């Protein structure tokens, strides 16, 4: 009987030990399992964040390229604004000197008191202003460097009216391309909007 009690006591000890160990092992197993899941979740989140960082870096690079394009366009605007105003002064006075003439592309011909312009399949005349241009009202309204590398700019112009006349206004659109002559850019197109 003592042996039986010892065996029952041993079994009881083993059962008590198992009662304590099994929940402990389960807790460890669950924690290890959660830890593995958490690691997988963190790895996935890390990959997503790295992809987002790469995406944002590409956006920033694109915006930097766009900023550089705007800077180039603005520098051209400053340079060509001077030339356009010099040209307006020449056609206002009717005296197109050699320097102003060198700005003109081959498709713009100075003839008597007008310019003959052939641009985009159209030919039209632009008479000189005969000192009727009101320079105080000349305003650059827009400028743009297009995909073909042409610089297009528009100037609002007003005439000085004779007595009893109304002031005439309009917009001259100038198109410049990179030149091969004396100037880095040539005026190849002049169109009017009223």
β-pairing, 169-178 vs 185-193, is antiparallel
Is pLDDT of 3 > 80?
Answer: no
**CA separation for the pair 62, 172 (Å, rounded):** 33
- Distance (Å, rounded) from C-alpha 25 to C-alpha 191? 87
Is 131 in contact with 89 (CB distance < 8 Å)? no
Q: What value does the mean pLDDT take over residues 90-118?
A: 85
Instruction: Give mean pLDDT, residues 145-168.
Output: 88
Q: How far apart are CA 58 and CA 55, in angstroms?
A: 5
pLDDT in tens, 57-76: 999 998 998 899 899 899 99
Sign of CA dihedral 104, 109, 111, 115: negative
Please say if the pLDDT value at position 122 is more than 70: yes
* pTM, full prediction: 0.67
**Exposed, middle or buried by CB within 10 Å (0-12, 13-18, 19+), for 14?**
exposed
Q: How far apart are alpha carbons 95 and 52 in whole angstroms?
A: 61
């Amino acid at each position: 009987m003592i042996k039986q009690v010892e065996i029952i006591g041993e079994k009881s000890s083993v059962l008590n030990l198992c009662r304590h160990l099994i929940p402990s092992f389960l807790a460890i197993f669950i924690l290890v399992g959660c830890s593995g899941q958490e690691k997988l979740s963190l790895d996935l989140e890390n990959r997503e964040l790295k992809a987002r960082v790469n995406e944002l870096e590409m956006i920033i690079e694109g915006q930097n390229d766009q900023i550089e394009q705007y800077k180039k366009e603005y520098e051209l605007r400053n340079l060509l604004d001077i030339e356009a105003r010099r040209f307006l002064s020449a056609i206002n006075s009717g005296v197109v000197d050699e320097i102003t003439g060198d700005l003109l592309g081959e498709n713009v011909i100075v003839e008597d008191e007008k310019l003959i312009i052939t641009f985009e399949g159209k030919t039209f005349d632009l008479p000189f202003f005969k000192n009727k241009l009101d320079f105080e009202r000349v305003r650059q309204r827009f400028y743009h460097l297009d995909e073909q590398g042409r610089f297009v700019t528009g100037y609002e112009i007003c005439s000085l009216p004779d007595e009893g006349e109304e002031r005439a206004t309009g917009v001259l659109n100038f198109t410049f391309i990179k030149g091969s002559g004396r100037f880095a850019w040539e005026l190849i197109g002049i169109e009017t909007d009223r």
